[in-house]
Chain A
């Protein structure tokens, strides 16, 4: 770790003013500190923003989650548990209680990939060092993407929370360098790698995430989050599925289907969702939805298994929506 300056701010405005281009905001630090220790992030200054909004505010249109709301808080909050339980389910499938106690909502969105090549500064990685090459493309890519990847990067976004958020059509509230507020739809927040994989997302430079907003929705009865991983706790997803159904007399009025562990960004299976709309909630339709999603994937040499796994996971997750 390199020496750095440290400033603690109390307001978003102050944070934006104080942060220099060579600096970084720090929230829970659960990702940033690891990156600094491995010399992947080398900020010259840290701006501690842990005192910015940490409240969960019910709105008429939905709920606003402050950027500093800790992941564990989201799993205990009554508003979330009754109206947006998918969020809590997703969070509980990730990390460990200790990490969830530290991790913030904003930081979770901005956590970086877990691709092993990204973490080793002695190996090429376009995300870490643009232009150096992608070691995973023809290397060990068991954990890598099966959809939306490019020759330049096959890394996946590791978050669980974000999968629930993208499924629920959330949006990200940010304040830009010029102190102006802006709202970015969640599905447009993260990026596909293309030829600029060093950019994980569309957060403007020096901007602060202040909150996440989740609109009112009917997905608090029939929902499921299924995470497949190499061990049952404290492991990132091989494939995860957030599924939610709005049912009327067993007919699917609306459906949401998103996945983690498959792409550079939290991934929505829109075609599969569209297929489900208006259909009866039954195994055959679930299987067809899974097939539609799986058909859109393009696995690498080392992760062909993710396709049948995804298919199975979607089927099971949809099925679990009926029993959960």
Chain B
């Protein structure tokens, strides 16, 4: 076994220090060590997108990122994003439009949608579909997810207009 490595990072705003194996992915670290099981592992080879997290405000694959790479960085998971309240409108629209069934892809899907809406406040349906091309959903057929994201963008736009 390789030597353990000490790392320090902020996870969902809280400071964390740990000593870990260099081969451990951030997804495994979050799930096993931190108990943050909202980050899901669907393929463990970077395709399905269920393990999507934010690292210094950029979405990454938790299964393709080693925990040691996150040393000194800020990690945000679905738990942190939910508790921040930043995406509560998006989450409410996912629920009311039934944009999830089994829920396994959902944390990754929501964080990808969050990233899209931060970059593009008024995406077309095609742009939403294109942006989600790194996130698989096996249950919904995607349409309800597109609807939920589109509705969120419109509502945010309307709220801005009101102000």
A joins B in a complex: no
- Residues of chain A at the chain B interface (Cβ within 8 Å): none
